[in-house]
Copies of this chain bind each other. A is one copy, B any other.
Amino acid sequence: MNKKRPTDGELEILRVLWARGRSTVREVLGELDRDSGYTTVLKLMQIMTEKGLVEREKQGSTHTYWAAASQEATQRHLVRDLLDRAFPGSAQRLVLQALAERPAEPQELAEIRKLLDEQEGGEPA
């Protein structure tokens, strides 16, 4: 039951875990943008374990970590959270600004259109 969104540091670590899959602390450390010390990353990942954001398994003397929730599920939470906090009313503005910020590929545009069509088709309230 995790209500709160991950912190910035936690999210960076999750991104590495999603990209790499199961990883040790040292492997995560190597991929991080920020240059934190080893014990800093270790501590974060220990806390994330307590929070249930990651899970781990002992192999020899080393722990292997992986993200407890999928990237998609986490993104869904983050989007919902941002909509609630900053985009009262509709999602339209968020969509427009996201697309303006990072123009999408033709193939992506097609997928977005597909979803628009479905919504236009309209489910009754």
Contacts and interface: CB of A to CB of B under 8 A. Distances in A.
Copies in the complex: 2
Interface stretch (A35-43, A45-53, A113-121): A113-121
Interface residues of A, number: 44
Which of A11, A15, A82, A123 is packed against the most chain B CB atoms within 10 Å?
A82
A93 interface: yes
Interface stretch (A24-32, A57-65, A83-91): A83-91
A75 to B, nearest CB: 6
11 contacts: A75-B94, A83-B101, A90-B102, A91-B104, A94-B98, A95-B95, A95-B104, A99-B112, A104-B119, A109-B116, A112-B116
